[in-house]
Amino acid sequence: MPARSCWQPGKTPNTTDLGLEHVGINVDQKYAIPVSPALQTMQPHVYAVGDVTNLPKRLETTAGKERTLAVENALTGSAKSIDYDAVPSTVFTDPQLAGVGLTEAEQMQRLGISACRTISFEGVPRMGVHILALHAASWSLKR
């Protein structure tokens, strides 16, 4: 079998020329704007969403939801946030990889214990699912 490689370049938030330092907002070591779960920056009246933040997912869907919640929080004083553990994601490899919930490694890191095992779909009401299969993206959307 020929050698194969997977290139995952990553993304750096484009924050250097925004002048954030002039309004008292710092970026972290990855140039991301730290925000609270309610999407507030270090200046609580300034909200940030999407790829410029240090939030755990960088997706179109989460960026859109964050925008909606940030506006609602800013206008109503609410503190709504996203449960990122419940956000499904897909890697468009062949076969595709789709998942939702914690991986075994993440669960071990957070809880120090994991009871991962292979079971049928019918027995998976609320747990994490990670699929490596043809059209895995569609599987994650159907459930």
Ligand X SMILES: Cc1cc2nc3c(=O)[nH]c(=O)nc-3n(C[C@H](O)[C@H](O)[C@H](O)COP(=O)(O)OP(=O)(O)OC[C@H]3O[C@@H](n4cnc5c(N)ncnc54)[C@H](O)[C@@H]3O)c2cc1C
Q: By CB under 6 A, name the one of 38, 42, 46, 63 that touches ligand X.
A: 63
Q: Which residue is nearest to ligand X (CB)?
A: 50
CB of residue 87 vs ligand X: minimum separation in angstroms? Answer: 10
Distance in angstroms (rounded) separating the CA atoms of residues 81 and 65: 9
Comparing CB distances to ligand X, the nearer of 61 and 93 is 61
Name residue, tokens 């993206």: 137
Distance in angstroms (rounded) separating the CA atoms of residues 44 and 47: 7
Binding window for ligand X (CB under 6 A); candidates: 10-18, 38-46, 107-115, 130-138: 10-18
Binding window for ligand X (CB under 6 A); candidates: 12-20, 21-29, 35-43, 129-137: 12-20
Write the secondary structure of 68-114 as one string of H (helix), E (strand) and C (coil).
Answer: HHHHHHHHHCCCCCCCHHHCCEEECCCCEEEEECCCHHHHHHHHCCC
Q: By CB under 6 A, name the one of 12, 16, 26, 61 that touches ligand X.
A: 61
Q: Does 21 bind ligand X (CB under 6 A)?
A: no
Beta-strand pair 89-91/129-133? unpaired
CB of residue 21 vs ligand X: minimum separation in angstroms? Answer: 14
Residue 44: count other Cβ atoms within 10 Å of its Cβ. 10
Report helix, strand or coil for 54: coil
Q: Does 83 bind ligand X (CB under 6 A)?
A: no
Q: By CB under 6 A, name the one of 59, 74, 82, 116 that touches ligand X.
A: 59
What residue ranges bind ligand X (CB under 6 A)? 14, 17-18, 50-51, 58-61, 63
